[in-house]
């Protein structure tokens, strides 16, 4: 992979916000849209061209599912080869250092996908009908974040081949045999999922978290 080539980004600001209770694309953090903070971090980290996907001004319309929105973003990228990072706009505390780690690992050339991850700190239990059935060994488990970086050709091939619903792009790349590595994520790279998440993220941003 040529480290002088443009590095593309797909920033997802689409979706119905089912768990949040309303769409999140118009939410603001300190009077600035969530996606603005995420895009700034992508650019500061080395992403040269960002395709915004969603229901906001200047964006490409999103699709019914997350992967449909990613596909809409991929369709806007004119390059055949290169590197693309896919990020959820609902993670506005992304830092440029996480972006740089993803890009640097991708540029090593021995994998087709890279995802930031953090260790799982809590005990994990499997339940059924409100009863614990198993305590899961968390030793080899991680919590996955975005942005996720991919070889552009591989990500397009994964989207063309995948038919089920996917919660992230890495699982699609893995399904076609692509090698995906992890880099250190950031515990503060939180995702706005529920209404109570927003005040926490606002407080962290007020603390000048960088």
pLDDT of residue 39: 95
User: Which residues of the chain fall below pLDDT 70?
Assistant: 1-4, 15-25, 207-210
Determine whether 113 is exposed, middle or buried from the number of CB atoms within 10 Å of its CB (0-12, 13-18, 19+).
buried
pLDDT of residue 75: 97
- How far is C-alpha 162 from the geometric centre of its chain's CA atoms? 18
pLDDT of residue 196: 83
Work out whether the CA dihedral 164, 49, 1, 103 comes out positive or negative. Answer: negative
pLDDT of residue 193: 81
Measured between alpha carbons, how far is 162 from 169 in angstroms, rounded to an integer?
10
pLDDT of residue 205: 77
pLDDT of residue 204: 83
Measured between alpha carbons, how far is 53 from 68 in angstroms, rounded to an integer?
10
Cβ pair 151, 1 in contact under 8 A:
yes
Angle between helices 66-74 and 152-161 (to 10 degrees): 130
């Amino acid at each position: 992979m040529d480290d002088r080539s443009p590095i593309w980004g797909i920033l997802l600001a689409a979706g119905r916000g089912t768990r949040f209770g309303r769409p999140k694309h118009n939410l603001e953090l300190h009077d600035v849209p969530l996606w603005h903070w995420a895009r700034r971090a992508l650019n500061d980290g080395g992403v040269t061209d960002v395709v915004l996907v969603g229901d906001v001004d200047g964006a490409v319309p999103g699709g019914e599912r997350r992967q449909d929105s990613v596909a809409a973003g991929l369709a806007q990228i004119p390059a055949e080869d290169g590197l693309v990072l896919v990020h959820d706009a609902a993670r506005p505390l992304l830092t440029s250092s996480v972006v740089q780690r993803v890009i640097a690992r991708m540029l090593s050339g021995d994998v087709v996908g890279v995802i930031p991850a953090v260790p799982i700190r809590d005990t994990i239990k499997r339940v059924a009908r409100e009863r614990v059935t198993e305590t899961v060994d968390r030793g080899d488990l991680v919590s996955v974040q975005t942005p996720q970086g991919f070889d552009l050709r591989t990500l397009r091939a994964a989207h063309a081949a995948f038919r089920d619903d996917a919660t992230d792009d890495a699982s699609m790349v893995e399904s076609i045999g692509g090698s995906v590595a992890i880099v250190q994520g950031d515990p503060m790279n939180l995702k706005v999922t529920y209404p109570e998440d927003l005040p926490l993220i606002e407080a962290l941003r007020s603390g000048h978290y960088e």
